[in-house]
């Protein structure tokens, strides 16, 4: 398992590159979970990940 955190402007590009998802943006405090069956980081380059979860702050607006 790996957790990647960086400036949110670059996250949609990374998600789009690694998976078949097509995100325009991921807001601040957004969360995306990608999944793939790999045994080594070397396999990342030739593996297509699946977008398992996508959470955005607005989804929780009524929860507070």
Q: Which letter, b or e, does each residue of 4-31 get, where b requires 16 or more Cβ atoms within 10 Å of its Cβ? A: eeeeeeebbeebeebbeeebeebeeebe
Residue 11, pLDDT score: 86
What is the Cα–Cα distance from 5 to 47, expressed in whole angstroms? Answer: 20
Are the beta carbons of 31 and 51 closer than 8 angstroms?
no
What is the Cα–Cα distance from 25 to 38, expressed in whole angstroms? Answer: 26
For residue 55, count other CB atoms closer than 10 A to its CB: 14
Q: Where are the domains of the chain?
A: 11-63
Q: pTM (2 decimals)?
A: 0.74
Print pLDDT tens along the chain (64 aa).
566 766 667 889 989 999 989 999 888 888 889 999 888 888 888 889 999 999 988 899 887 6
């Amino acid at each position: 398992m790996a957790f990647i955190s960086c400036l949110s402007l670059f996250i949609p590009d990374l998600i789009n590159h690694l998976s078949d998802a097509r995100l325009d943006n991921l807001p601040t405090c957004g969360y995306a979970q990608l999944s793939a069956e790999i045994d080594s980081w070397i396999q990342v380059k030739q593996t297509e990940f699946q977008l398992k979860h996508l959470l955005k702050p607005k989804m929780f607006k009524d929860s507070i």
